[in-house]
Structure formats: C-alpha cells, structure tokens
Amino acid sequence: MDINNKKLESFFLPDLCNVRAVLVLILLCESLVTALILVESGLVGFQWERFSMLSYFVQWVALLSVALLCQSRKFMARLALPWAVCWAMSLLMLVCFGVSYAAESLFPFVGSGNQINWLWILRNMFISAIFGGMGLRYFYVQSQWRLKSQAELNSRLQALQARIRPHFFFNSLNTVASLITIDPDQAENMLVDLSSLFRVVLKDQDAQVDLAAEIELGRRYLNIEQQRLGDRLNLEWHLPQQIPNIQVPQLLLQPLLENAIYHGIQPLIDGGHIKISITAVNKGKQKHQRWLLIIENDKPEAELVSQGHQVSLPNIAMRLEAIFEDDASLAVDETANQYRVVIELPEYNSDQEPELSQQKHKQVTK
C-alpha cells in the first residue's frame, strides 16, 4: 500500500479530480476555441454561433477525457511511463472519436452533408492528439521539476541537520565539562540526562515527533544550561494543561533555545529571562485549530556578531515548509533588549480545544 502511494505521489499526471483543475481546463479550452475561431474567420467575421457550437464540442471532449484520466490515474501509476502515456493518449483518442461520431450522428450539419464525415473526425482526433501530447509533456516536465525541487530540499535539510547536531552536541558537552571540577556529582547526573537527551536527538533525521516530546526535549536542554548559568537564567513556561496533538519536525525547539542562551542570556552580565509559551489563536473561519509557539529572551543592546553558521532559523523554516507547506509559519521580532520567535502551527483533526492553564510556571534556580 505504501509503495502504491509513493508511486501515485511521484506519478507525472497530477490529480485532475478537483474544482481548480476543472476550472483551469475550461478556461484553457475556451482560449483554444477563441484562437481557432479567430484563425478561421478573423476578428471581423467572428460568429458567436460558431463559437458556441465549437466550445460545446471541445468542452465535451476535454471534460470526458479528464474524467477518464482521473479515474484511471491509480492504474496508470502502476504502469511503466511509456505504457502510461500510451494509455492516456488512447483514452484521449477514444473520447475524441466518440464525441465526434456522436456530433456527426446527431448534428450532421457540423460536418458536410448528411453522411458521416470521417475526414472531419480524423482531423479532430489529430488535433486532439497534438494538444493531448503537449499537455502530457507539460505535466511530465512539471513533475520532473517538482521531484528535483523536493530532492534538493531534502538534501539541504539533511545537510543543515548534519551541521546543527554536532553544534548542539559540542555545546552540551562543554556545559558538562565546565561542571566537572566544580561539582563532579552534578556533572555525573548531567551526563546521565545528556545520554537520554542524545538518545532522542540521534533518531532519524526526517523524524517527526509530538509537540509534547519536543517540549520535554527543550526542558532537558534548559535543565543542563540551568546548572551552568545558575541564577543568571530565569525560565518561564506558559503551557496549556494539555499540549496540542501536533506532529512537528524533530529539533524544532532546541535550536531556538540554544540561540536564546548563547546569543541572549550568556552575554548579559546579570543574566536574563527566557519565556516559552503555547497559546491558541483564532482567525475567523478555519478548518483546524491553530497554536502559537513563542520563545522570548532578553539580549544585550549591542549584540556581538555571531561567528556561527546561523542555520537554525532557515533550517526550522525549511522543515516547517516541507511538512506543513503554507499551513505553518515562522516569524522573528527583535527589539533593542528582546528577541522573539513565533511559530504558528496547525492542529489537524482536533475534536476539542485544550483548556489553557492560567497558572504561570516560573523556574528560578539559584
């Protein structure tokens, strides 16, 4: 079943069983009919009756062809490309022949005389073959471009994730190393926590996890940083009583928290606050509930220019786009003393909205 779905997703012929595709097809057919009429009679001799009859004929051919192609798309996806093209062209020719023969039988004035005008039918099939072949070629080129774009996106995501993982590991290990001489017992406990954290992080690069699991991963990371920074780091959590059931890309929250620590809190002599919140948002009529994941942190006014790779935000934005397309967004708001990242996420198939907690969870470890 999975193999068939993958074949269907990579098949060059798109899903034509939707309103948008039908509307585009109708507009293209009308444009074609207009061009044929203008070539045939010119602008001065334009006949609306001729235009209406030809439009009626072309629309029947086009809509019936699309309906048959739509219904046989799953079958064609299992065929080799040449056989799938032959099947599609055969359907187009069969529909054109059937509609042309019916038009000649019911309305003999469409052709010449009262007998079947086979030459007119063959001409229609020839024109249909030309435009059908052009359409299939367009769909094939568009499909190849889409597959190439997806492959490039996956390659970039894997490269970015390969760069962000060592960056996270080394910083975490440095945090543990800084505690070895100060508090060996605490360093040992942190290594245990860190091993559990790495076990989660070292999963499949393309893995998707529950938002609740990603929040827990962020908590573990902040606990490690809390031991290093002490009372310089003040954490505030504003979370709903029930975390939304949303599948997010792994390592969504941790890179943002890491940036907040190393570019915001650490340069401040007196430290600062990091606030993590999840709130529901309503935007009129919408198909599903939407949530805002917000990370706010203090930062120095004259922030030093980072020498790092600066890949966290582009990495997160690309992974959100790969999973949610246009349903999710990432926005950044920066002031003189504060940095704010807002991620809007959709919750699909949600039966009821989780009840938000009014309590403010503030963690200050001294």
Q: Domain coordinates of the chain in residue numbers?
A: 2-116, 148-364
In sequence order, what are the beta bridge partners of 281? 290
The token pair at 40 is 């045939």
What pLDDT is stored for residue 302 in this prediction?
A: 65
Distance from C-alpha of 337 to C-alpha of 299, rounded to nearest angstrom: 5
Closest CA to 256 of 339, 360, 326: 339
Provide the pairing of β-strand 208-210 with 247-249: antiparallel
Closest CA to 356 of 313, 295, 292: 292
Say which residue the tokens 């799953």 belong to. 74
CA dihedral 268, 270, 276, 282 (to 10 degrees): -80
5 within 8 A of 26, measured Cβ to Cβ: no
| Amino acid identity, position 142 | Q
The token pair at 47 is 């006949």
Using DSSP, state whether 149 is helix, strand or coil: helix
Distance from C-alpha of 176 to C-alpha of 227, rounded to nearest angstrom: 9
The percent helix, strand, coil of the chain (3-state, each to 5) is: 60, 15, 25
Angle between helices 118-180 and 48-71 (to 10 degrees): 50
Q: Max alpha carbon distance in the chain (Å)?
A: 103
The token pair at 352 is 């009821």
What pLDDT is stored for residue 94 in this prediction?
A: 92
The Cβ of residue 35 has, within 10 Å, a number of other Cβ atoms equal to 10
Distance from C-alpha of 289 to C-alpha of 352, rounded to nearest angstrom: 9
What pLDDT is stored for residue 355 in this prediction?
A: 37
Q: Which helix (H) or strand (E) holds 275?
A: strand 272-281
300 within 8 A of 268, measured Cβ to Cβ: yes
Radius of gyration of the chain (CA): 31
pTM score above 0.85: no
69 within 8 A of 91, measured Cβ to Cβ: yes
Return the CATH architecture of domain 148-364: 2-Layer Sandwich (3.30)
Closest CA to 140 of 85, 89, 97, 76: 85
What pLDDT is stored for residue 48 in this prediction?
A: 80
The Cβ of residue 10 has, within 10 Å, a number of other Cβ atoms equal to 12
Average pLDDT per 10 consecutive residues for the chain, totaling 366 residues:
60 79 83 81 75 84 88 86 90 90 72 70 87 87 82 67 62 75 79 73 68 88 82 93 88 86 88 94 70 93 53 79 83 90 82 38 36
Q: Which helix (H) or strand (E) holds 126?
A: helix 118-180
